[in-house]
Structure 1
Amino acid sequence: MVVGDIATGTDVLVVGAGPGGYVAAIRAAQKGLDTTLVEKDAYGGTCLNYGCIPSKALITGANLAHEAGHAEEMGIHADPAVDLSAMVDWKDGVVDQLTGGVEKLCKANGVNLVEGEARFADEHKVRVAHGGEGQGSESIEFEHCIVSTGSRPIQIPGFEFADDPIHDSRELLAMDSVPDRLLVVGAGYIGMELSTTYAKLGSDVTVVEMLDDVLPGYEDDVARIVRKRAEELGIDFHFGEGASEWQNGPDGGVVVTTETEDGEESTYPADEVLVAVGRQPVTDTLDLDAAGIETTEQGFIDTDDRARTEQDHIFAVGDVAGEPMLAHTASKEGIVAAEVIAGEPAALDYQAIPAAVFTDPEIGTVGMTESEAEEAGFEPTVGQMPFRASGRALTTNHAEGFVRIVADEPSGFVLGAQIVGPEASELIAEIALAIEMGATLEDVASTIHTHPTLAEAVMEAAENAMGQAIHTLNR
């Protein structure tokens, strides 16, 4: 034991207070377990402080400004001025309110909060180094441990985030002025959300992507609608190109060089550069070897359907446990881990995990696509409802996209859905519930939906799959 080191013990030690960790800690405490939560940065983790919440706040602000300035068709004429510094202050206020709420919830449920960075000393003990000179450290012994240290942005060679003007998403969300020229490396969901946001705020946005389209992993017709809208906003895409280097430009900005697989080079001027090529798990700081836990080549921790690692008393939840790297998945995994520790028969079921992309228009998906259903041995039937046939969508002046529902034709059971259009992130919840409860197309179609609403499109898609749609042509 080092000088100044103290030792304590706990039933459940949770390392990391993101959406997986703080939820796990609260549930464990609710089950009567002595629970300690260690966090080195901020309660709520990346999602609440630097990702999900602040990005959606800026997206909301950018959408409001853009719509106000482009509503002539509705008889509205305005030229809004955007004060990004004030918008960021408002965003920070939202974050502060939520992070304070997380801390209060933890304390109210009896969770012991410890600030510092934890590293495993052995299979039942961590050493926590407290920040600040002379703050010392402490050892915490545990019966069970839940690792939930999240992920960090992936850096690419030559584009280190410490070098101004190279930014990760966290830094871009904290800017106090809108850059005239923004170059984005990566057209995944983070790159597309922030590209759209800054284009609406007034930036001249260029996106370079190694692959041949935006949003890899989403179906072509879904991605195509988002890309077309982004192009209408003035975003300039260059596919099949990877960023190779950058240097200072003659006009005070920078020049980014890209290269194709064939070695062809191109250059693009910019004032700020966002690198958004994915995220990697934060497991290299934990000394997992001391706990007898190995990671995959990519740094993830393998877990079973109860979130247990190869050490049955140590669990891993959230981004450190691999795909799907989603905040709500982390929370569910945290709940399962805590309940398993409490001796309950909890287990993970990933068949109905929704995902959303907050682009313009939004994307919401859950369950299987048609091709995935075929590969799984089902006989899929598909129904689709275009938003251009939705009265409510037309009244919002956002009628791009569609609702598509996938079901097993013999049984009628709902298997999945893909939505691209207004409020897709909200609409997908209905179909997630349908999958979770084993609902059929008839169940969805027979449920009376309020008129006029966007949700009617879900009902119409189900009816379309049954060949009895009223407000769109049956397939």
Structure 2
Amino acid sequence: MTYGGTCLNVGCIPSKALLHASEMFAEAGHSFGELGIQVSPTLDLPKMLEHKDKTVKANVDGIAFLFKKNKITGITGTGTIKAAGTVEVAKADGSTETLSAKAICIATGSEVAGIPGVDVAFDGQVIVSSDDAIALPKVPKRLVVVGGGVIGVELGSVWSRLGAEVTVVEYLGKLLGSMDADVSAQFQKLIVKQGIEVKLNAKVTNVVRNGEGASVSFEPVAGGAAETLEADVVLVATGRRPFTKGLGLEELGIATDRVGRVEIDAHFQTSVPGIYAIGDAVRGAMLAHKAEDEGVALAEILAGQAGHVNYGVIPAVVYTSPEVASIGRTEEELKADGIAYKVGKFPFTANGRARAMLHTDGFVKVLADKDTDRVLGVHILGHSAGDLIHEGAILMEFGGSAEDLARTSHAHPTLSEAVREAAFAAFSGKPIHA
């Protein structure tokens, strides 16, 4: 057992190491020549996986260092809450230790979810979860990804860049679930262009291992002929669920919802006074930075301060190439709520820095209130979208308008100018360079 949970060990950090490395491999093989750099890259998968493992170790060791530096005692084992203020830890050597505290925080994260209604026999080699897909010993010839959400498209793109024939099977009628429809549609076109096959509105009915490979059967959601795909590896990436079993919650009367999330009040307290919960174990987006913000807010509350998390301004990022980033409301959500809004869009094809970098795919989209001009959402598809989205985050945290962003000077040439141009389009109806 190590520190850092899912994110550092088998989630955010290792997947981003592989995403970056595979992106560099793909660029070396396809776009370096246009920059006057002639190379013929050769894949060294063991070395790439070693880079991933070193990255994970550095981050995990960093957490251990912070524990020591801040005089935090770390105890490794399986914890059970026996009562308010009491936790029993079962250790690997068979011994137990009882801990007492004024406050207990449940931050047990999440685990891989299967396919609803389908019995999936994960074996870690052929039928795998995201935990296994970051450590495949060789590039599969054919990879079928069940689930077209963030995890599915990220890991699917990694192995596609490295040479696998990838097919994504998604139940919904779009990739990336709750993302803005404009972004999702353009994103799908781009990954199909990159060689990934996409099957939407497809309900998976069976995943079964056949000797050295496996097959995935699915049928159209609206009805129709079933189809079966053969694969060397099947990645089931249908999301995650709260990891809250075995904590003693039921015995204590701590309320959970139908999917196992711990119910909390506005101050993160459960139905039992003195016991709190944050992160993937509670409602809201399953994002590491959301959990971090909640942890900070809870610590402030326990210290007698006014901890708070603004859930309307939490960015979400998909680390594909190009990246996808979103914050605030989507256009579909605004329409559904009857909110009058303005739209400003600007393509990276018209951005000088993007042209120089050969990263002109995608666009920036700014949504602002029609009457007040207050920015309600920002959505970006493009290179470095995960960094650019924070212009919107800061603006929205302080209730800023599209005009505020449009009239803020941006260095030239930078990718961030595209964000400013989209704000101009939302504010005045037209970007400067159009």
1:167 alignment partner in structure 2: 128
Q: Distance in 2 between matches of 1:285 and 1:45?
A: 17
* Separation in 2, partners of 1:246, 1:413: 47
TM-score (norm 2): 0.94
Structure 1's 238 and 408: CA in aligned 2 closer, same or farther, altered over 3 A? closer
CA–CA distance in structure 1, aligned partners of residues 228 and 339 of structure 2: 48
Q: Is 1:84 matched up with 2:45?
A: yes
Q: Which residue of 2 aligns with 1:17?
A: none
Choose which of 26, 29, 52 in structure 2 pairs with 1:69. Answer: 29
**Mapped pair 1:438 → 2:399:** yes
Structure with the larger RCO, 1 or 2 (CA within 8 Å, 6+ apart): 1
Aligned partner of 1:152 among 100, 111, 115: 111
Residue 101 of structure 2 corresponds to: 142
Q: Does the residue aligned with 2:307 lie in a helix, a strand or coil?
A: coil
Residue of structure 2 equivalent to 1:241: 202
| Map of 2:340 onto structure 1 | 379
Q: How does 1:441-452 map to 2 (within 5 A)?
A: 441-452=402-413
1:59 aligns with 2:23: no
Report the alpha carbon displacement of residue 234 of structure 1 after superposing the two structures with TM: 1.4
**Residue 269 of structure 1 pairs with residue 230 of structure 2:** yes
Match of 1:205 among 162, 166, 173: 166
Matches of residues 21-420 of structure 1 in structure 2 within 5 Å? 41-71=1-31, 72-132=33-93, 135-156=94-115, 157-162=118-123, 164-249=125-210, 252-261=212-221, 262=223, 264-373=225-334, 378-420=339-381
Matched position secondary structure for 1:406: strand
CA contact (8 A) 2:88 2:99 kept: yes
Residues 241, 259 of structure 1: 8 Å contact kept: yes
Q: Which amino acid aligns with 1:46?
A: T
Matched length: 430
Matching residue's letter, 1:412: D
8 Å CA contact retained: 1:57, 1:91:
yes
Stretch moving more, 122-131 or 190-199: 122-131
Structure 1 residues without counterparts, runs of 5 or longer? 1-40
Q: Deviations over 1:55-90 (max 9, x none)?
A: 000000110000110023334443211111110111
The one-character-per-residue Cα deviations of 1:395-454 (angstroms, maximum 9, x if unpaired) are 111111111111223322222111111111100001100010122222211211111000
Contact 1:307/1:317 (8 A) holds in 2: yes
TM-superposed CA distance for 1:240, in Å, is 2.5
Moved more, 80-89 or 211-220: 211-220
1:307–1:336 Cα contact (<8 Å) kept: no
Distance 1:307 1:245 in 2: 39
The alpha carbon displacement at 1:374 in A equals 5.1
- What letter matches 1:327 in structure 2? A
Q: Residue type matched to 2:426 in 1?
A: A
Q: Is the 8 A contact 2:125 2:132 kept in 1?
A: no
CA contact (8 A) 1:258 1:265 kept: yes
Give 1:351 shift: 1.8
Q: Within 2, Cα distance between the matches of 1:209 and 1:378?
A: 30
Counterpart contact for 1:464–1:472, Cα < 8 Å: no
Q: Partners in 2 of 1:81 and 1:243 — Cα distance?
A: 36
Change beyond 3 A, Cα 1:313–1:465 = same
CA contact (8 A) 2:120 2:208 kept: no
Structure 2: how far apart are the matches of 1:148 and 1:462? 38
How far has the Cα of 1:47 moved from its partner? 0.4
Taking structure 1 as reference, are residues 342 and 107 closer, same or farther at Cα in structure 2, changes over 3 Å only? same
Query: Structure 1 residues 376, 385: CA separation in 2 closer, same or farther (over 3 Å shift)?
Result: same
Instruction: Tell me, in whole angstroms, the C-alpha distance in 1 between the residues paired with 2:42 and 2:299.
Output: 48
Q: Return the alpha-carbon distance in structure 1 between the equivalents of residues 332 and 231 of structure 2.
A: 40
Q: TM-score, normalised by structure 1?
A: 0.87
For residues 125-149 of structure 1, the C-alpha deviation after alignment (integer angstroms, 9 at most, x for no partner) is 12110013xx401111221111000
